[in-house]
Amino acid sequence: MTALPIRQPVRIIGIDPGLRRTGWGVIEAEGNRLIYVACGSVEPPDDLPLSSRLLAIHEGLAAILSCHQPMEAAVEQTFVNKDGVATLKLGQARGVAMLAPAMFGISVAEYAPNQVKKTVVGAGHADKQQIAMMLKILLPKAEPPSADAADALAIAITHAHHRQSTALRLKVAGL
């Protein structure tokens, strides 16, 4: 009889991109068990020009990636809103949020906001309070300082639940 392989914990960073506040949350997933590691947000000063804000987001995320050394990353996909300029600027912050882990050699998965809500709460149109309540249940030690940090933890949880199917899709696509 051979022993079953021991599952290694996987450290995951979830990133909720934004120009004013980019939330981040780090968890460890060991099978079905989720363990809170850390969370917070990168907040560049509002008076900086766009390029400097993007640089501040990158430098902040790079410091977090160096400190917590996640093995996988997940970023929330951009939803298109009525303000096209705001959507484009958010897309630039999202690009930085994807670039930072990629520069560390970390694979980056993307999840739609409704998929994150459905995974964490069970409903695709859940509000921020419902997400916060479920985070207290799923990660009792987590006390996110902002809604962006809470969203980032929810993104990390979503990746923990869907990472196997995401990896399979990438393998089938040949990426």
Distance CA 44, CA 53 (A): 6
> What band does 107 get if pLDDT is binned at 50, 70 and 90?
very high
> What band does 86 get if pLDDT is binned at 50, 70 and 90?
confident
> What band does 124 get if pLDDT is binned at 50, 70 and 90?
confident
> What band does 80 get if pLDDT is binned at 50, 70 and 90?
low
Q: Which of 28, 72, 148, 151 is catalytic?
A: 148
The radius of gyration computed from the CA coordinates of the chain, to the nearest angstrom, equals: 16
> What band does 84 get if pLDDT is binned at 50, 70 and 90?
confident
Tokens describing residue 17: 């991109």
Q: List, as residue ranges, the binding site.
A: 16, 76, 148
Q: Is 83 a catalytic residue?
A: no
Phi, psi (deg, nearest 5) at residue 125? -120, 35
Q: Which of 16, 28, 43, 72 is catalytic?
A: 16
> What band does 169 get if pLDDT is binned at 50, 70 and 90?
low
Q: What is the pTM of this model?
A: 0.88
As a whole number of angstroms, the longest Cα–Cα distance in the chain is 65
Q: How much is the average pLDDT of 148-154?
A: 95
Flag whether pLDDT at 62 surpasses 50: yes
Distance CA 172, CA 175 (A): 8
What is the residue type of 116?
A: V
Q: Is 76 a catalytic residue?
A: yes
Phi, psi (deg, nearest 5) at residue 166? -65, -45
The two counts, helices (H) then strands (E), for the chain are 5, 5
Q: How much is the average pLDDT of 78-84?
A: 72
User: Which residues, at least 6 apart from 74, have a Cβ–Cβ distance to it below 8 Å?
Assistant: 12, 13, 14, 15, 108, 109, 110, 111, 155, 156, 158, 159
Q: List, as residue ranges, the binding site for Mg(2+).
A: 16, 76, 148
